């Protein structure tokens, strides 16, 4: 039953709307039940009043006969005196041809309809009760009874009254109930909102603790939590600790592998260089390729392990300032000026070493090709799902790069110009590192005339 599925993904919204819906349904049912109960009670009281008047007239007729007083004074209600007031009584003699009728002054020349003629069945004791249209077109509730006074005669005694007053009372009660229950519904909704907010507060505190861990401000979840959430907090602490252990073991194994492979490769290259020959040259060339590839994949493994770590954050400004000073000195002889800065408070959601690797490779690549200027800009933007994105943009005034060559330049190990020093892995390392953190690297034309490299990284 697809319509029973609750929309939305918010637990607070689900709890609040469920409580509000149930409260509204209960209040609505209670309101209907109370209204019907009040209606039944009001109508019962109304009919009892009519029956009292009917018994009073029947008693008067039975005791007095034709000469008995059946005027409204005996009923004690001035409504029977007022014209068309809606309250009427009528006595009709049934055992003579004239069918003599006595009636309250409120009827004037009008006459009450007989329920017997309307096929209303008689109750035990001969009384009939029902609703019929009155002289002025208003609905009347009528009670009537036939009495036999022996030789004096047989009479039909009727008392009637309009139902407007009762319906008006019921309507007023209904509206009073609507107002009261509406206020109660609002109070219950506010209470439900407070209850939901108070009940889910430990989850918000847990979210805050996880945020501080993600920012690197804490190493584990602290504080006491309710019985239902405490096991979750403990499991998260165990998971965070296990994650750190995995990262540390990965770093250790990667370092051991690097040391284990570097020495044999260095020996092979040295031996091949010591005895020049076509075979030795090929061995030396391939060994150097192996060394570059091993360096690349070892760095990738380190970066992947660091990217999976929880709680590592790096402030961007100190890293950027240090790298600008370093590369400014390195390329000072060529007259290349490095400028730029990072906004205070901008942080990279990852290891400092990886941010240095990304920005350093981009600055190094720009410095190699720039004529006079390299400009760096760091900005913090809003990304998907409310997450922050650290955008690092580096422009140079070099020769630039044709659009069809930009994708090749970021591919692993591709070199487009062998005249520049280096292994050709700089941009590819940046691409892979950014991808490990869920980011990206995009190359385009720079406003300075050269190449623009823009890295998008997780920020904080």
Q: Is the dihedral of CA 444, 446, 452, 458 positive or negative?
A: negative
Return the pLDDT at 56: 86
pLDDT tens profile 230-243: 888 888 888 888 87
For helices 201-214 and 230-274, the axis angle rounded to 10 degrees is: 20
Q: 328-359 burial, b for 16+ CB within 10 Å, e for fewer?
A: beebeeeebebebebeeebbbbbbbebbbbbb
Task: For the chain, give the mean pLDDT.
Answer: 81
Return the pLDDT at 423: 42
Exposure of 207 by Cβ count < 10 A (0-12 exposed, 13-18 middle, 19+ buried)? exposed
For helices 164-199 and 201-214, the axis angle rounded to 10 degrees is: 30
pLDDT tens profile 141-176: 999 988 887 777 888 899 999 888 888 899 999 999
- Asked if residues 70 and 91 have their Cβ atoms less than 8 Å apart, the reply is yes
Neighbours of 453 (CB within 10 A): 28
- Asked if residues 376 and 324 have their Cβ atoms less than 8 Å apart, the reply is yes
In this structure, the dihedral spanned by the alpha carbons of residues 346, 347, 348 and 352, taken in order and rounded to 10 degrees, is: 120
Average pLDDT over residues 306-324: 78
Average pLDDT over residues 97-109: 80
Return the pLDDT at 322: 92
pLDDT tens profile 318-362: 999 999 999 999 898 888 999 998 898 888 888 888 888 899 999
332 vs 328: CA distance, rounded Å: 6
Q: List, in sequence order, every residue forming a beta bridge with 129; answer none if it has no partner.
A: 143
Strand order in the sheet with 440-445: 337-341, 373-382, 388-396, 451-458, 440-445
Q: How confident is the model at residue 9 (pLDDT cuts 50, 70, 90)?
A: low
177 vs 183: CA distance, rounded Å: 10
């Amino acid at each position: 039953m697809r319509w029973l599925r609750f929309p939305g993904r918010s637990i607070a919204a689900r709890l609040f709307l469920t409580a509000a819906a149930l409260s509204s349904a209960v209040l609505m049912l209670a309101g209907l039940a109370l209204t019907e109960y009040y209606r039944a009670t009001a109508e019962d009281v109304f009919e009892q009043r009519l029956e009292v008047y009917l018994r009073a007239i029947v008693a008067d007729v039975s005791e007095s006969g034709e000469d008995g007083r059946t005027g409204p004074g005996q009923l004690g209600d001035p409504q029977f005196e007022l014209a068309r007031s809606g309250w009427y009584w009528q006595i009709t003699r049934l055992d003579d041809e004239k069918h003599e009728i006595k009636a309250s002054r409120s009827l004037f020349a009008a006459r009450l309809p007989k329920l017997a003629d309307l096929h209303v069945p008689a109750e035990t004791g001969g009384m009939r009760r029902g609703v019929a249209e009155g002289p002025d077109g208003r609905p009347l509730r009528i009670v009537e009874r036939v009495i036999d006074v022996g030789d004096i005669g047989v009479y039909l005694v009727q008392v009637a009254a309009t139902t407007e007053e009762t319906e008006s009372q019921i309507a007023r009660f209904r509206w009073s109930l609507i107002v009261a229950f509406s206020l109660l519904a609002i109070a219950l909704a506010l209470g439900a909102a407070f209850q939901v907010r108070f009940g889910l507060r430990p989850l918000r505190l847990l979210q805050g603790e996880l945020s501080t861990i993600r920012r690197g401000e804490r190493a584990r979840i602290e504080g006491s939590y309710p019985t239902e959430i405490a096991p979750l907090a403990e499991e998260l602490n165990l998971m965070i600790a296990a994650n750190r252990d995995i990262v540390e073991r990965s770093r250790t194994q990667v370092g051991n592998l690097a040391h284990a492979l570097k020495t044999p490769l260095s020996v092979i290259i040295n031996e091949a260089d010591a005895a020049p020959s076509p075979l030795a040259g090929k061995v030396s060339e391939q060994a150097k390729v192996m060394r570059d590839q091993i360096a690349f994949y070892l760095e990738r493994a380190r970066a992947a392990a660091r990217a999976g770590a929880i709680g590592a954050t790096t402030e961007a400004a100190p890293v950027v300032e240090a790298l600008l000073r370093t590369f400014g000195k390195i390329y000072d002889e060529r007259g290349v000026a490095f400028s730029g800065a990072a906004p205070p408070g901008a942080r990279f959601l990852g290891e400092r070493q990886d941010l240095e690797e990304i920005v350093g490779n981009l600055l190094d690549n720009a410095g190699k090709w720039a004529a006079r200027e390299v400009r760096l800009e760091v900005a913090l933007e809003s990304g998907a799902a409310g997450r922050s994105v650290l955008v690092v943009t580096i422009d140079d005034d070099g020769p630039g790069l044709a659009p069809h060559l930009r994708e090749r330049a970021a591919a692993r190990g591709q070199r487009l110009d062998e005249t520049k020093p280096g292994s050709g892995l700089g941009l590819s390392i940046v691409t892979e590192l950014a991808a490990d953190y869920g980011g990206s690297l995009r190359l385009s034309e720079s406003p300075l005339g050269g190449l623009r490299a823009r890295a998008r990284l997780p920020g904080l």
